[in-house]
Structure 1
Amino acid sequence: MNRRVTIRDIAQDVGYHFTTVSMALRKHPDIPERTRLKIEASAARLGYRPDPVLGALMSYRTELRKASYLGTLAWVTNYPSRTGWRAVQPFEEFFEGARQEADRRGYRIEEFWLGEPGMTPRRMAQILKSRGIQGLLLAPQPAVGTELAFEWDAFAAVTFGYTLAKPALHGVSNHHFRSMLLLVEQLFALGYRRCGYVEERRVDARVSYSWLGAYQVAHDAAGRAREIPPLQFNAWSEVEFAQWFDRYRPDVIVTKYPPVKDWLESRGLRLPDDVGLASPSLADRETEWAGMHENAVAIGRAAVSVLGDLLRHQDLGVPATPQRVMIEGVWTRGRTVRALQGAGGDAAAPEGSTTR
């Protein structure tokens, strides 16, 4: 008798994690369409058939989890002000995604600010333990290289991005390197030939220099000389930008900094007719710019998923081998790049991305 084809068999065939395969087969909205179609094709080819008994059991367990309250998770922030982290739009979407997944799993999330008057790491740990809170979601830190002294052995913790240097905890982030690769591939497919990159050094550092590295790799992989050197600021300067632009004349600029659009328009340039703009990091609600949506809500949900597993297994303290979950970005053309030349539409999306 032939063995039943499982989700893990499909995962091995397509090279994705089995949880990605499971979500794709359930048509979960976090999975890009091209990824879903690839997984569905593999499932059909291998002869996969869902197990109705197992499916019913999983649905039953999910409903039980929804009905029971498991406890509180701490959303721990470290900005100079209590609400300073909310000024960065993706961070709010991280929180919203975390809240959604926490609610689904039977948790609720409560904010804790390390900057409260009189607060110390020891005092914070005492408060959390007295409340029976073991799970920590560490919001992104205000600066790269942050170190936090804390009673980690009593807690399970998950962080976002790369700004927390010590301790090295399990983390969740956008796949920044791949997002930039896909972004540059899309711009080349749209017919752009002189792509420039403009960013603040501290912002590149926040993503562990993944954007700068991927931008350079994408040019090399396409066999295109990097004729236009990246413009990296210690502090933004419209004068310095104008000098760089006049010297190299890019036909499209990759940047996360919104005022670049105003600088270009103040020079009489029309977007996207004269020059295009694309961002490697768009919040889910941003639709005007072209670029890569981070899927920030999905990142927040993934963080709670990781934390929930740690709590279930009582895997507390600083991990011996930190793991990182990276969420795929999604391409959107927006209104700041031109349509595909000669076709009047989007370029074909690279594998693993979708268009909006």
Structure 2
Amino acid sequence: MKKFGLDTELVHAGEIHINGAVTMPIFQSVTYLFEDAEDYDQVRYSRLNNTENHIALHEKIATLEGSEAALVTASGMAAISVSMLACLKSGDHVLMQDGLYGGTYHLATNLLANLGVEVTFINGDAPDSWEAARKPTTRMIYLESISNPLIEVADLEAGVAFARTHDLLSVIDNTFASPANFRPIELGFDLVLHSATKYLNGHSDVAAGVIAGSEELINRILPVLNIVGATLDPHACFLLQRGLKTLGLRIRKQNETAMQLAAFLSNHPKVKHVRYPGLPNHPNHSRATDLFDGFSGMLSFEPKSGIDSGKLCKSLRFAKEAPSLGGIETLITRPAFTSHAAVPGAERARLGISDEMIRVSVGIEDAVDLINDFDRALNA
């Protein structure tokens, strides 16, 4: 459990000093000597997620999240998938927030459906409507702390309360906020998921995922993760552990710069609208202010009619058009053609994800340089 300040825990929690080394070494060994393990999952083997590199990361992440235990996986989608496989069975029903990340939507409408798990999408901002969607077979409610790419903040407190009232598992994808801005376990969520590829690693050089929760839940998920084999390799563990140490520094800078960029874009004559929870006109601004320590480095906007968003993206100097997010460099993408390309066009239109929408992941560049870059591109 977290006992000290965030930056202190980021540097020191879970660290193992082998032979006096200040930095955790990479244990580039798949197999280990047998030491009378009592069951299969205790055998020391890289795929079973129990090398020193895994153990150190699990402790650091659990400390940051304030959870009893944690796991790392090979990707964010691996974290989501194995959690679903471990916690749901055929005939179960799940309530999932409308407007989720495209990969999660695809998982829900294809893989889960094929396995006999029913999903109903709910308005995360309308908890009064959730009861009508609940069924006797409902087992889980699934939300995102900040939705991708609409940058909405669902009624997360209501989500926890609804789950407790109806004995549901409350699950949240906290990728966009990160534990530097929001710790869902403290609010009462049962299971927290991350694509650690993004903010937790922060350098666009590792694909990884995170699962945090109670020991009971993690012990239920671990055997499924071991069977599926979505294991994070030791070198990736090392890079993620290194990246985590600067999470607090990076997030504070990204929060600050994103706020400045969002404010600038919201007043630009060639911008139709901006979605950023730090802006007072965001519909969930008050909720985000109450829940979060910062509003994240994520925003989305849509240029006014007549401006080609594809050409706009390519004309930017510092903001690079590429998928993913949360790195030290500013990345932009058009969700209709990347993260949400697998979502049917009619569904994207219903949600408000237009072909012209641009999602921005703000990096750690100087704010004035990013603002001037967007200003020049919009005016070109």
One fold, TM greater than 0.5? no
Range into which the TM-score falls when normalised by the shorter chain: 0.3 to 0.5
- TM-score with structure 2 setting the length: 0.33
Q: Which has the larger radius of gyration?
A: 1
Say which structure, 1 or 2, has more relative contact order (CA 8 Å, 6+ apart).
Answer: 1
